[in-house]
Each structure stands twice: as structure tokens, then as C-alpha cells.
Amino acid sequence: MLVVEQTFTPGSRSGDAPRFLQLVAHPVRWRLLRELAYSDRAVWELTQLLGEQQSLVSYHLGQLRAGELVLSRRSSADRRDSYYTIDLARCAEQLQAAGGTLHPALWLAPAPPSTRRTHRRSRRRPRILFLCTGNSARSQIAEALLAQRSEGTVEVASAGSNPKPLHPNAVRVMRMHGVDISDNRTEHLNEFVSQRFDFVITLCDRVREVCPDFPSHPNLVHWSVPDPALEGPNDRTTYAAFERTANELATRIGFLLQMLDEPSTRRSAHAER
């Protein structure tokens, strides 16, 4: 039976909960969303983390995909695998709307960004390292966006497993975001292994598989972001992919900053090992 989401109407007596609440209320789906809110995952990882059969996990992932709360992408490292990603922006919209269907006064709103920035300055600055293969595009864009949006409250760096020259489209797209990275140099991840980081975030499926152990035991997070440089034969045709990549990373970084504001929500590194 098709369930149609209802908007709030005074005097309405509909007994159906919003589709979003029906989806997330199932304990397996809730646990899947909780895991994906921390890091992109493959099915086999989610199966291990939940201790459930793969067929059950795949079924509930299908339900979440149908509800447009979760997306999937083929792994660039192994095309037989897919990485699942939570759409946190859509979840936020649906959660806010769900409150409003019960009563207009329950429409939820995020905390003001200025309050969060003031709170962060009272603590030690977290250190974040972004990794991709070439350190020429994705990790450079992520580093620049996080440095810009954190306003100095986060220390951030980037590196690659096989550094390449900085991609001109990465420079162009960040210039559109008000950041000049044209003088950045690309670096090998081995230069950072001995340093302390709170989070190491891999943006490339390939670099995730070769990521070394960090003695500081940072939280390891994976964001499965396609390489925009492979989306066309030349720089002109790939620029749109760089714009999409920057927008996706900007959204993810916005949620990362909110997570960094709440130390109680951070996992210890052993959760990833």
C-alpha cells in the first residue's frame, strides 16, 4: 500500500506517521543510518558492524535507498563493491518536516552557526587530514573548504598516496568559493603518518585500501567521492564535475563541523579497526 506523506492541517485525524518516521523507526535501518552518518560503508562492513545477515542488511539498505535517505556508488577500487552514503541534508529536511506534521510548533531548526563557532574556540583545535590518491583535486578542495568554514578553529591538511600536480580545475572551482589554492603543493601521505590527527578522512576508495596505520590512532572516516578529473576527456568538460565535487564536500564538511562541536558524538579509533 502506498503511504502518502501528510502536511499539517488543523483538525486532521490521519493516523499515518510520515514515511520518514516509518523508515527510520525500524531498529536495523536506524543502526544502518547511525553507521553511515559516521562513514561511508560497503555492505560487507555493515553486515559485520550490525552482526546481521547480508540479505537482511541489503534489504533494509534498499528500503533506505527507495526513501532517498541513502545513496550508493560503485567502488573505484573494486567495481564488485558499492559504497553506501547517507544523505544527511535530506534526513535533516525530513526530520524537520516530521515534527511539523504533528504540530507547527515542533518544526525543528538547526542551532545558529555563530554559537557553534564560539563554542569550538574554547577547546583544543581538532586536527583533520584529508587523503586521496593524487592530492591534486578532492583532498585539496576539502582542505580549503574546511579551513575556510572553520574560521581557524580546525587545523587541516591534505595528502595523497601518489601525489600529482595540482589540477587547474581544483584551483578554478575554489576560486569561485573565494579561496586561492594556486600556490598549494601536493604532498605524500607518508609525510603525515607520524603526526597526531583526530580524524583521517579518505576521499578515494583506492587510498582507503592503502591507508597506513597512524601511531596517534585517529578516527578513520571514509567519504566515497568520485575523481572529478575522470569525468571527461579534458579540463573544459570536467569542470562541471569539479563543481559537483566541491558542492558535495561543502555539504559533508558542514555536517563534520557540527559533529566536531559535540565531543560526546565522536567515536574512538578502535571503532574503525
From the candidates 28, 95, 193, 211, give the one annotated as an active-site residue: 211
Quickly name the fold that domain 19-106 has: Arc Repressor Mutant, subunit A (1.10.10)
Main-chain phi, psi angles of 170, to 5 degrees? -65, -40
Closest CA to 128 of 109, 154, 153, 110: 154
- Residue range(s) in the chain whose domain bears CATH number 1.10.10.10: 19-106
The CATH architecture to which 113-272 belongs is: 3-Layer(aba) Sandwich (3.40)
User: How many degrees, rounded to 5, is the angle at CA 196 between CA 194 and CA 200?
Assistant: 95
pLDDT of residue 116: 47
From the candidates 86, 132, 166, 200, give the one annotated as an active-site residue: 132
- Residue range(s) in the chain whose domain bears CATH number 3.40.50.2300: 113-272
pLDDT of residue 105: 81
The three cell numbers of residue 216 are 596517534
**The pTM is what?**
0.86
From the candidates 46, 204, 220, 260, give the one annotated as an active-site residue: 204
Q: Can you tell me the distance from the alpha carbon of 1 to that of 160, in angstroms, rounded to the nearest whole number?
A: 49
Summary mean pLDDT of the chain? 87
Residue 91 is among the residues annotated as catalytic for this protein: no
Residue 211 is among the residues annotated as catalytic for this protein: yes
pLDDT of residue 230: 94
CB 117 within 8 A of CB 153: yes
- 195 pLDDT band (50/70/90 cuts)? very high
Q: Can you tell me the distance from the alpha carbon of 119 to that of 116, in angstroms, rounded to the nearest whole number?
A: 5
